[in-house]
């Protein structure tokens, strides 16, 4: 028999109410012994009391959900107490003494998945809903919960299974009086599937940008206006600006929201040959941030000629996800400086707030973050790209048996996404990032 798990679903703080969730076979006995409800009607809110050894500890609202019609698919009880952690602690201790177990992080949702109440993708989106920090992140998580991503994968899986069934019939009974399958017909169907999957893949974005945020570092030589740009993007005076080169010596970081994406913006020390050891350490950190960022904004003073320092930094950043920003256009444009970068630049003036709309659009374009992007995990993107490659391999073959092998391989990646092939370790890892009580 599976254990009966309990956990508070609300934070352990003083509040108006606190919700205790219980899932497992003991629910009916708990209702009888702790709530004095003999045979509770499912989905009915009972105003009753919680008793420990027949001593009343709180006035509560209790709802009983009968398996399988509950969140986890098991018998469940949800009890609303008054929001004092002392009361909740008493109740939890008594229930643990009674034989319940304190739930692990994500265990309710894991049980929901194992009992077929939701697919793996939907189960994971529950965590995203709880952790979303922006409106856009929440919207994406809700769409995933409704199956926007998994329904599509499920349909492709059905198409695969249909093809496999036909192929199997052909391989098994091919010599009897059934019309043999034409390999080109199979390939035609596979090609449609592959193109379809490829188009879908293009719509997928990396969910870490939406949930963890985009990390952007502003770099350049001293005095080009990095801190000014940093403050302007944040719309507050966070970093010190002055006309003395070497003003920023340590890095400064802050967050802001860009088109619904949380952004971690980092202002760095101007990179140059430093004689001062403190400044040198700051410069080392600047270089470190260049390596760790999703996007680097390389700032140059467009009113002046480029110097050795500019070229040095250019070489550090040219092969990365870099946006070349030429600042101080209000003073003038040095043609040679402009020519060096050619078209691939954004010319701005922080002082006059010029061309910031172009800069922000460029950030989103660079990471392919469009309006209809569906944000999924790196792992899922990777599995879909594997599924596409296996289909491409299938299309190059001329033997039905080998084509079949590749189709099965491709299908296995999609089934991994849907959680149809998973081992306990993977599941534990996925659900361990959840909060307790969910």
| Site residues, ligand GTP (CB under 6 A) | 220, 222-228, 241-243, 245-248, 270, 327-328, 330-331, 349-351
C-alpha distances in angstroms, 352 versus 107, 128, 164, 224, 355? 54, 39, 63, 15, 9
State the Cα–Cα distance between residues 370 and 365, nearest whole angstrom.
7
Of 98-106, 241-249, 283-291, 301-309: span binding Mg ion (CB under 5 A): 241-249
Instruction: Return the number of the residue (313 or 363) whose C-beta is nearest ligand GTP.
Output: 313
User: Nearest-5° angle of CA 246, CA 251, CA 257?
Assistant: 125
Instruction: Return the number of the residue (102 or 312) whose C-beta is nearest ligand GTP.
Output: 312
Instruction: Return the number of the residue (122 or 337) whose C-beta is nearest ligand GTP.
Output: 337
Q: Please say whether the beta carbons of 53 and 97 come within 8 A.
A: no
Q: How far is the CB of 248 from Mg ion (least distance, A)?
A: 3
Q: How far is the CB of 226 from ligand GTP (least distance, A)?
A: 3
Helices (H), 48-148: 85-97, 107-114, 120-131, 135-145
Q: Is 248 in the site for Mg ion (CB under 5 A)?
A: yes
What DSSP assignment string belongs to 341-369? HTTS-EE-BTTTTBSHHHHHHHHHHHTT-
Contact with Mg ion (CB under 5 A): which of 125, 227, 231, 377?
227
State the Cα–Cα distance between residues 382 and 37, nearest whole angstrom.
51
Of 94-102, 244-252, 291-299, 428-436: span binding Mg ion (CB under 5 A): 244-252
- Residue with smallest beta-carbon separation from ligand GTP: 270
Instruction: Return the number of the residue (227 or 380) whose C-beta is nearest Mg ion.
Output: 227
Of 6-14, 71-79, 85-93, 222-230: span binding Mg ion (CB under 5 A): 222-230
Q: How far is the CB of 317 from ligand GTP (least distance, A)?
A: 15
Instruction: Return the number of the residue (57 or 269) whose C-beta is nearest ligand GTP.
Output: 269
Sign of CA dihedral 137, 141, 146, 148: positive
C-alpha distances in angstroms, 163 versus 160, 198, 302, 385, 421? 5, 19, 60, 20, 20
327 binds, among ligand GTP, Mg ion, none (CB under 5 to 8 A by kind): ligand GTP
Q: How far is the CB of 264 from Mg ion (least distance, A)?
A: 17
**Tokens standing for residue 275:** 């004689």
State the Cα–Cα distance between residues 255 and 265, nearest whole angstrom.
6
Instruction: Return the number of the residue (190 or 271) whose C-beta is nearest Mg ion.
Output: 271
Q: How far is the CB of 253 from ligand GTP (least distance, A)?
A: 14
Q: Quick one: residue 236, left, alpha or beta (phi over 0 = left, psi -120 to 50 = alpha)?
A: beta
Helix %, strand %, coil % of the chain (to 5): 45, 20, 35
What DSSP assignment string belongs to 299-355? EEETTS---HHHHHHHHHHTTSSEEEEEE-TTT---HHHHHHHTTS-EE-BTTTTBS
Q: How far is the CB of 348 from ligand GTP (least distance, A)?
A: 7
Residue with tokens 């599937």: 193
Instruction: Return the number of the residue (48 or 239) whose C-beta is nearest Mg ion.
Output: 239
**Tokens standing for residue 80:** 């609303």
State the Cα–Cα distance between residues 238 and 218, nearest whole angstrom.
14
Q: How far is the CB of 340 from ligand GTP (least distance, A)?
A: 19
Instruction: Return the number of the residue (44 or 311) whose C-beta is nearest ligand GTP.
Output: 311
Q: How far is the CB of 279 from Mg ion (least distance, A)?
A: 12
Instruction: Return the number of the residue (80 or 228) whose C-beta is nearest ligand GTP.
Output: 228
**Tokens standing for residue 36:** 């004095």
Q: How far is the CB of 227 from Mg ion (least distance, A)?
A: 3
State the Cα–Cα distance between residues 227 and 268, nearest whole angstrom.
8
Binding mask 407-436 for Mg ion (x = CB under 5 A): ------------------------------
332 binds, among ligand GTP, Mg ion, none (CB under 5 to 8 A by kind): none
Binding mask 57-76 for Mg ion (x = CB under 5 A): --------------------
* Residues engaged in binding Mg ion (CB under 5 A): 226-227, 247-248
């Amino acid at each position: 028999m599976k254990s009966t798990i309990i956990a508070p679903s609300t934070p352990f703080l003083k509040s108006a109410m606190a919700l205790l969730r219980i899932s497992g076979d003991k629910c009916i006995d708990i209702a009888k012994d702790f709530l004095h409800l003999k045979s509770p009607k499912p989905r009915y809110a009972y105003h009753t009391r919680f008793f420990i050894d027949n001593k009343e500890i709180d006035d509560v609202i209790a709802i009983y959900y009968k398996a399988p019609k509950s969140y986890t698919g098991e018998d469940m009880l949800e009890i609303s107490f008054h929001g004092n952690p002392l009361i909740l602690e008493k109740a939890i201790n008594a229930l643990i003494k009674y034989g319940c177990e304190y739930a692990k992080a994500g265990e309710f949702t894991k049980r929901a998945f194992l009992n077929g109440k939701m697919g793996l993708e939907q189960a994971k989106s529950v965590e995203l809903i709880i952790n979303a920090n922006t409106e856009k992140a929440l919207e994406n998580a809700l769409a995933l919960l409704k199956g926007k991503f998994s329904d599509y994968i499920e349909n492709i899986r059905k198409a695969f299974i249909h093809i496999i069934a036909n192929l199997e019939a052909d391989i098994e009974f091919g010599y009897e009086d059934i019309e043999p399958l034409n390999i080109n017909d199979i390939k035609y169907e596979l090609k449609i599937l592959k193109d379809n999957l490829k188009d879908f893949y293009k719509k997928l974005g990396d969910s870490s940008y939406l949930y963890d945020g985009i990390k952007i570092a502003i770099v350049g030589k001293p005095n080009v206006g990095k801190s000014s740009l940093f403050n302007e993007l944040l719309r507050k005076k966070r970093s010190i600006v002055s006309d003395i080169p070497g003003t920023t010596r340590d890095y400064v970081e802050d967050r802001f929201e860009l088109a619904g994406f949380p952004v971690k913006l980092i202002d760095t020390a101007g990179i140059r040959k430093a004689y001062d050891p403190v400044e040198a350490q700051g410069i080392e950190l600047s270089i470190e941030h260049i390596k760790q960022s999703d996007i680097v904004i390389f700032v140059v003073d467009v009113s002046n000629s480029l110097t050795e320092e500019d070229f040095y930094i250019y070489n550090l950043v040219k092969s990365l996800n870099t946006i070349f920003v030429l600042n101080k256009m209000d003073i003038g444009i040095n043609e040679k400086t402009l020519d060096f970068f050619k078209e691939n630049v954004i010319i701005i003036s922080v002082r006059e707030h010029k061309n910031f709309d172009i800069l922000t659009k460029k950030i989103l374009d660079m990471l392919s973050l469009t309006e209809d992007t569906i944000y999924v995990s790196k792992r899922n993107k990777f599995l879909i790209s594997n599924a596409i490659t296996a289909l491409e391999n299938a299309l190059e073959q001329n033997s039905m048996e080998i084509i079949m092998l590749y189709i099965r391989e491709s299908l296995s990646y999609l089934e991994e996404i849907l959680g149809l092939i998973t081992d306990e370790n993977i599941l534990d890892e996925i659900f361990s990032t959840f909060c307790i009580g969910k």
